[in-house]
Homo-oligomer: A and B are copies of this chain.
Amino acid sequence: MLDPVTKLRPILARKLSLAGELAGEDLDALTWAVKQVRRVPAHTVLIDEGDRPEYVHVVLEGFAFRYKVLPDGERQVLAWLVPGDFCDLHVAVLGEMDHAIATVSESTIGQIPTDQVEQLAQTSPALSRALWWASLVQEAILREWLVNLGRRTAEGRMAHFFCELHARLASVELVGDGALDFPLTQAELADSLGISAVHTNRTLQVLRDAGLVQWTGRKLVLANIDGLRKLAQFDPNYLHLQPRSRRGNPSNAAPGAFV
C-alpha cells in the first residue's frame, strides 16, 4: 500500500519529468492539490460515460483502462492507464465523458479538483506545458493503436501492445529486468486488441512458444524484446519519451548519452 505523503510526489515527478524540466515548486503545488488519495478495488468504475467529473484522477498504483461499450454489448478498450497517468485532465472543456474508465486491479487513485488544475496551469506555464504533454502523448498512443487495429495481424498487435506497455512502465521505473506487472485477463487483453478471447489465447501461445514472452500470474516477462519489436514493427517515437533536443541520436551527440 502506498503512503500518500512520501510516494505521491515521486510518482508525479517521474512522469512529468519526461515532459522536460519542472521546478520543484511546481511539483509541490501539484502534489498539494491532490486532495484525496483513494484505495479502489479491482473492477471499479471510476468515471462513467456521461459523467461530468469534478476531479481529475491520477493513477498512483495499479492499472485502469478507458473503454466504450456498444449497444450490442461489444466492448473496446481505448487505453491503459498506469501509475503516473491522468485519467481525465481535460473533460471540463468537453463537458461530459464520452467513454468510461475503470480499474482492473486494486489501485490507488489521487484526485485533484478540476478548478485547481486549471488554476495551477494558469499560474505556472511550465506545469501547464507538462500536463499538456501528458495529454498529447495519450493522444499519440491512441493514434498508434489505430494503426495497430487497422494494419497489424493478431500476433503483431499483441507484440506491439507488450512493447508499448514495457516502454511506458520503464519510463516511470516500474520494470525490473524485463518483468512487468500485468494484472489483465485474456478477455481484457482481447478487448484491447480488437480480437476475440479465444484467438487471444491462441495468439498468446504462439508468442510463448516462440520464446518471446512469459506470462505467469500477474507478471509478464518480455523474454526477447528485439524479437517482439521486430514482429510488432515497434517504433517508440510516438511515445515522445526521449528528450526533445536529442532525437534520433545524431552523430554529434555526446557519446554515452542516454545509455
Contacts and interface: CB of A to CB of B under 8 A. Distances in A.
Nearest to A98: B238
A15 interface: no
Contacts of A207: none
B78 A151 contact: no
Interface residues of A, number: 42
A143 B93 contact: no
Contacts of A46: none
Contacts of A151: 70, 74-76, 194
A133 B95 CA distance: 10
Interface in A221-242: 233, 237-238, 240
B78 A247 contact: no
Interface of A: 66, 68, 70-72, 74-76, 78, 90, 93-96, 98-99, 129, 132-133, 136-137, 139-140, 142-147, 149-152, 191, 193-194, 233, 237-238, 240, 244, 247
Shortest beta-carbon contacts, A-B, top 6: A150-B194, A95-B244, A149-B149, A74-B151, A98-B238, A76-B150
Given A94-B133, A98-B238, 4 more contacts: A68-B144, A70-B233, A98-B240, A149-B149
25 contacts: A68-B143, A68-B144, A68-B147, A70-B151, A70-B152, A70-B233, A72-B233, A76-B146, A76-B147, A76-B151, A78-B147, A90-B132, A90-B136, A93-B132, A93-B133, A95-B240, A95-B244, A96-B244, A98-B143, A98-B238, A142-B143, A145-B146, A146-B149, A150-B194, A151-B194
